């Protein structure tokens, strides 16, 4: 029940699993459910609530997946907006590296929709900062994969297959 003090954590686990199931089965209803539950939770928490920032990352991840699935610029833009506005708080949390990876991916996805080179540049800047700061072996492989994908992207000023 929403009145349970552990409800935000339970919702996070539920929506994380819905996103995993979406990635495996490509069932858009899983993303719709995840976004809906997370949005309800986010609205229900008062401003300044300690868990409010913790909800932004899973919501943004679900929005990004849904945006990619539907080709929805609105979902991609909202992902970027949510993660950018909470970037300093998220960087201090355990979700910091994941949220930056998602933000970079969102910029790359928006670049693919709009062909605005600025988005591609922001994506590679985020990954460069993340690679410099992430602890070796902790999420580093994901950062390297994301960086390689960015360097392989056609239409960017930094495209370089050998660097990728």
The pTM for the full model equals 0.89
Q: Specify the pLDDT at position 125.
A: 92
Question: CB–CB of 123/117 below 8 Å?
Answer: no
- What's the CA gap between 14 and 58, in Å, rounded? 10
Q: Average pLDDT of 83-104?
A: 84
Instruction: Assign 78 a pLDDT band (cuts: 50, 70, 90).
Output: very high
Mean per-residue pLDDT for 70-81? 96
Q: 101 CB contacts (<8 Å, ≥6 apart)?
A: 127, 130, 139, 142, 143, 146
Buried b (16+ CB within 10 A) or exposed e, 57-93: bbbbbbbbbbbbeeeeeebbbbbbebbeebeeebeee
Q: What is the pLDDT of residue 26?
A: 95
- What pLDDT is attached to residue 86? 84
């Amino acid at each position: 029940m929403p009145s349970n003090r552990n409800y935000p954590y339970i919702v996070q686990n539920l929506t994380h699993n819905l996103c995993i199931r979406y990635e495996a089965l490509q069932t858009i209803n899983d993303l719709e459910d995840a976004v809906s539950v997370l949005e309800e939770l986010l609205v229900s928490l008062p401003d300044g609530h300690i868990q409010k920032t913790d909800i932004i990352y899973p919501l943004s991840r679900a929005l990004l997946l849904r945006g990619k699935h539907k080709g929805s610029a609105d979902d991609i833009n909202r992902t970027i907006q949510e993660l950018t506005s909470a970037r300093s708080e998220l960087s201090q949390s355990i979700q910091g590296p994941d949220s930056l990876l998602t933000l970079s991916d969102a910029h790359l996805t928006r670049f693919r929709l709009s062909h605005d080179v600025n988005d591609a540049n922001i994506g590679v800047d985020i990954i460069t900062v993340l690679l410099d700061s992430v602890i070796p072996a902790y999420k580093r492989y994901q950062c390297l994969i994301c960086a390689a994908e960015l360097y392989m992207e056609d239409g960017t000023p930094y495209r370089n297959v050998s660097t990728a």
